[in-house]
Amino acid sequence: MTTDKAGRVHSRGDAQAHVAAAHAGKGQSPLLRITLYSLRHPWRAAAAIGATIIASVLQLMIPRLLGHAVDQAQGILSVGAEGAEQALFWSAMTLLAVSVARGVFTLCQNYFSESVGHHVGYELRLAFYDKVQRLPYAYHDKVHTGDLITMGLLDLDGVRMFFSTGLVRVVLLSVLIGVGAYMLLSTDVVLGLLALSFVPFVAWRSSVAQLTLRATWIVLQDKLSALTRVMEENLGGIRVVRAFSAQNFELAKFEAASEAALELSHERVGIRVRNTSIMTFSFFAAMGLVLWIGGTKVIAGEMSVGTLASFLTFMTILQMPVRQLGMMVNSFARASICGNRLFSFIDEPISIADKPGVPDLKVSKGILRFEDVRFTYPGATHPTLDGVSFEAHPGQTIGIVGAPGSGKSTLAHLIPRFYDVSGGRITIDGQDVSEVSLQSLRRSVAVVQQDSFLFTTTIENNIAYGDPWSKETKIERAAESAQLHNYIKGLPLGYDTVVGERGVSLSGGQRQRLAIARSLVLKPAVMVFDDSTAAIDAGTEHRIRSAIRRYAKDRVTLVISHRLSSLLHADMILFLEDGRIVESGSHEELLAKGGRYRALYDLQTRPDEDIHFGSAAQ
């Protein structure tokens, strides 16, 4: 593994192979898919199953050895046979050795079954995280972050544990009950049937529990997702909560969500306890019958005390697996539900992806063109953009202004294909952005948004995020253009200063300037500033614009802003209304038209006057 300047780890392993393997078996049932996925680690799975079988056989030997030792001890007491003490000693040693061996193989069973589970969890985490990285904005628009976090933790853990708590326990119980039943029935049919009489009842109660737990687990997952959403939103908006003294309200909201999950958890515990108690009672009832009928046979001389002891010992040994049968059933139910949710997410089709064999974007002149572009958000009835057309050449700055909801940010998001257009096309040097690779496109188009996200790492790593191998001089030049270099040099650790979570240790303007510097490092062909200087004072913004104009002489620059002072230098300004370009031209040309732009300009420059938009505002 190697680590780049931004602290990102580049693995030389076969991560992509693990991701591809997670997509194999699409369309199969979740349990079958998990089983086949576990068997991708054949020697670990074989070791776990082999150790389980051997440990089970050794465990079945213990009742026979114990019964034999009881008969030997009875012989010593009754007749005092010479040499019987030595035979009893060796029987005890054999019993001890078998018990130790059973313990060793049980240890191997637990180790290798957990090993398989953790390998499955590792590979599915890679596949899950890979899917999170590649799903388009449209998916994240409709799915809450808390739901994805719940899926990546609880659902994945339910799938990971299935091999050890489900499949291995099936093998264990199959050997114990199957081989044990043969041994008991071959010794005494009546006692054998009595000893196994509780098994059908337990199977029935387990089936009932499986159906009930399966249904309640789905509901519990939804309640835990809601709980995660409340916590995630509270942590993300912790400053707003403190500013409005809303701690008690947030605590009450969290308590309500937590109580709903707690009540259902109590209900699930009650279901599990009731069924376990009923199954345990049936076990002891069967043991009582064996003791009664077997004792009668011992008194009648039809059976030795050691044979009866072996029957009782076998039932005692079987008691714990029977108690775990409910856990095994729960494991199957949980794996089925969790696997269905997790694999449905992993199999989610990616609507925005590279078409087979598409070339990289080749930028020569760097001309950006919108050709009758239309776009409607999924599920919306009204188009956000409708028939937008314009052309921008390198060195040009295009200003975009309009009321909230007019489609300004949507226009910016279509250029790097955060969304695909519904109609028309967007080209760079005549190349349709949907016909080139996403990686090359997004390295050529940089979008600086108003909400600037920063990682919890150093300032240098945040600036170099898009180009982790950037030299320090390149990083510093980008920071200088963003008017941030002097501030950074004044910090005790300079560029090695670690910013807090989401950049909370920086002001809003400083975060925006850092985001601008991060984009400048890439030297893209198209730069889009989506209200990215809203939190910056006018003087600093003017210096940033001046630096960017020098920097952007050979590239297209789009500036989206509500503040018209940010657009005065633009070569062309587009006024959007209801997704259409209703006015276009330079600042002076638009003022001369006396339309919507002029009305907005007067409103911002003469706020105390009574400005009438007239028909332009309709």
Burial 19-53 (b: 16+ CB within 10 A, else e): bebbeebeeeebbebbbebbeebeebbebbbebbb
Residue 322 reports pLDDT greater than 50: yes
Q: Which two tokens stand for residue 164?
A: 């050890």
532 inside domain: yes
Residue 610 reports pLDDT greater than 80: no
Give me the half-sphere count of Cα atoms (radius 13 Å) on the Cβ side of residue 371.
13
Residue 6 reports pLDDT greater than 70: no
Question: pLDDT category, 8, cuts 50, 70, 90?
Answer: very low
More confident residue, 607 or 451: 451
Give the number of domains in the chain: 3
What tens digit of pLDDT does each residue of 356-396 get?
A: 888 999 988 889 999 999 999 887 888 999 999 999 998 88
C-alpha 83/C-alpha 88 separation (Å) is 9
| 500 CB neighbour count, 10 Å cutoff | 10
Domain that holds residue 31: 15-346
501 inside domain: yes
What tens digit of pLDDT does each residue of 398-433 get?
A: 999 988 888 888 999 999 999 999 999 999 999 999
State mean pLDDT over 567-591.
90
Nearest CA to 19 out of 118, 133, 124 is that of 124
112 inside domain: yes
Residue 509 reports pLDDT greater than 80: no
Place of tokens 């659902």: 155
CA-based R_g, the chain, Å:
35
Nearest CA to 343 out of 27, 114, 121 is that of 27
Place of tokens 């332009």: 616
Angle between helix 305-346 and 198-236 (nearest 10): 40
Q: Which two tokens stand for residue 590?
A: 């638009």
What tens digit of pLDDT does each residue of 237-267 get?
A: 787 777 777 788 888 888 888 888 888 888 8
- Which CATH number does the domain housing residue 472 bear? 3.40.50.300
Residue 535 reports pLDDT greater than 80: no
Q: Do residues 183 and 297 share a domain?
A: yes
C-alpha 453/C-alpha 531 separation (Å) is 14
More confident residue, 111 or 550: 111
9 inside domain: no
441 inside domain: yes
Q: Do residues 63 and 117 share a domain?
A: yes
359 inside domain: no
- Side chain identity, residue 469: W
Q: Which two tokens stand for residue 203?
A: 């199977």
What is residue 53's predicted lDDT score, i.e. its pLDDT? 93
What is residue 615's predicted lDDT score, i.e. its pLDDT? 42
Most confidently predicted of 203-217, 233-247, 287-301: 287-301
State mean pLDDT over 445-473.
84
CA angle 495, 500, 505 (to 5 degrees): 80
Q: SS3 for 10?
A: strand
Beta-carbon contacts of 589 under 8 Å, excluding residues fewer than 6 positions away, are none
What is residue 22's predicted lDDT score, i.e. its pLDDT? 59
- Side chain identity, residue 579: G
